[in-house]
Amino acid sequence: MLERFFLQLYICLEDMKNCIISLLRDKSASAKIPKRILDELACCFLQDILAFYETPEGREEYEKWKLAQTQQTPQTAPDRP
């Protein structure tokens, strides 16, 4: 399972690298990272992120984050963790 994850990650990162190179070469800066690449990266990480937050350690981290969010004023609270 871990091997599959790293293979998917490698493929995504290679695609991302190629997009970044294209962006750097595009003098007009009108190029954007394709949604397909962003979706692939999200898929690579999603299962591992979900698995982490299902562990006691992950749940503890989440509870700490929630507590920190409630203690911040609306002006200083970040949009996302």
**Distance (Å, whole) CA 51 – CA 28:** 41
In whole angstroms, how far apart are CA 29 and each of 38, 51, 78? 18, 37, 28
In a domain, 81, yes or no: no
Which structural domain range is residue 50 located in? 2-70
Helices (H), the chain: 2-25, 35-53, 56-71
Is it the case that residue 5 has pLDDT exceeding 80? no
- Dump pLDDT digits (tens) for 55-81: 898 889 888 888 888 887 665 555 655
Q: Does residue 6 lie within any of the structural domains?
A: yes
Look at the chain and report how many structural domains it folds into. Answer: 1
pTM over 0.85: no
Taking only the tens place, the pLDDT of each residue in 27-64 is 665 557 677 777 777 777 888 888 888 889 888 988 88
